[in-house]
Amino acid sequence: MQVNIGNRCNLSCKHCHIEADTDKTDQMALETMKACLLAFGSFSFSVLDITGGAPELNDNYEWFITEASSLAKAKNGKVITRTNLVIVTEPGYEHLPTRWSELGVEVAASLPHYEQRTTDRQRGEGVFERTIEGLRALNAIGYGKGISNQAGQPLVLNLVVNPNGAFLPPSQSSAEREYRQNLSERYGVSFDHLLTITNNPTGRFRTFLNEKGIYDTYLKRLFDAFNPATLENMMCRFQLSIAWDGGIYDCDFNQTLKQPIKGQGTIFDIATQGPLPRTINFGDHCYACTAGAGSSCGGATA
């Protein structure tokens, strides 16, 4: 279960498919979070993946990760929090890495590139430097170091990489070696795994493609790179995406396009009835998940 708890963010990245920004106000209410937790704890979900925006900006974020972590531990599952890393360098949020470590939360941190110029071009001036600061804070308490917390839960730090343009990501394994070497040698930081994600032609990235007049060209690039080996592990086949208002989608991209799931209501319905049979809602944007080595919130799929 992936839960998007709001579209407010402290950054305004060019590739953002949900167009998160500092002035956005949509935020998941506590009542909806409780319904998510009831569904997660009652049925066969094993992973609760918390995203945004910058999910940390939701007023009830810490309550949510605390309750979710307790449920996940009881069913031998896990909680993932997605972060842009910059947020943990801002006043009022510096304590979050320590809280994550106490709860055994897995961290999926966004880092477009190990070159400052490339990252700042995609995410904003000065973002790279603060991203490295965030990585160092996580490393300092054991994340990305092969260390577990006092409860024996591994402190996992994964990096999430999106291409800086209208092209496919590199090989995930080769990119991981490249990032590991450069981040270690240049900045003294480490991580566990690198996850590559293809830019989906939705939201702010779609606007960029249209402004450059290359939307159709990019779609054809994805179509031409279709790989049938990616189909078995498409994330929509084993994941539900819950919007800030409790709406249910097959994935975060369908959520952006306002294409709700077929055959189900809201998270409040799932909390009482459980997940129901469904037909996945497809569109041209789905080729982003089937191109090359495939793409999902967990990285390459083939």
Whether 205 contacts 16, CB under 8 Å: yes
Q: Which two tokens stand for residue 285?
A: 């944007």
pLDDT of the residue at 149 = 96
Q: Is the pLDDT of residue 95 over 80?
A: yes
pLDDT of the residue at 126 = 92
pLDDT of the residue at 93 = 97
Give the number of other Cβ atoms within 10 Å of residue 111's Cβ: 24
Q: Is the pLDDT of residue 264 over 80?
A: no
pLDDT of the residue at 17 = 85
Identify which has the larger pLDDT, 13 or 3: 3
Q: Write the pLDDT tens digit of every residue in 13-23.
A: 877 888 899 89
Q: Is the pLDDT of residue 134 over 90?
A: yes
Domain 2-202+235-281 coded CATH 3.20.20.70: yes
pTM for the structure as a whole: 0.96
Percent of the chain with pLDDT over 90: 89
Rounded Cα distance between 139 and 163, Å, is: 25
Percent of the chain with pLDDT over 70: 100
pLDDT of the residue at 276 = 79
Residue range 105-118: average pLDDT?
Answer: 95
Q: Write the pLDDT tens digit of every residue in 9-56.
A: 999 887 788 889 989 999 999 999 999 999 999 999 999 999 999 999
Phi then psi dihedrals of residue 43, to 5 deg: -125, -170
Helices (H), the chain: 30-42, 61-74, 96-103, 116-123, 127-140, 172-187, 203-212, 215-224, 252-256, 267-273, 287-290
pLDDT of the residue at 274 = 87
Q: Write the pLDDT tens digit of every residue in 153-189.
A: 999 999 999 998 999 999 999 999 999 999 999 999 9
Whether 25 contacts 69, CB under 8 Å: no
pLDDT of the residue at 144 = 98
Q: Is the pLDDT of residue 263 over 80?
A: no
Residue range 112-135: average pLDDT?
Answer: 93
Residue range 185-213: average pLDDT?
Answer: 96
Q: Is the pLDDT of residue 7 over 80?
A: yes
pLDDT of the residue at 75 = 94
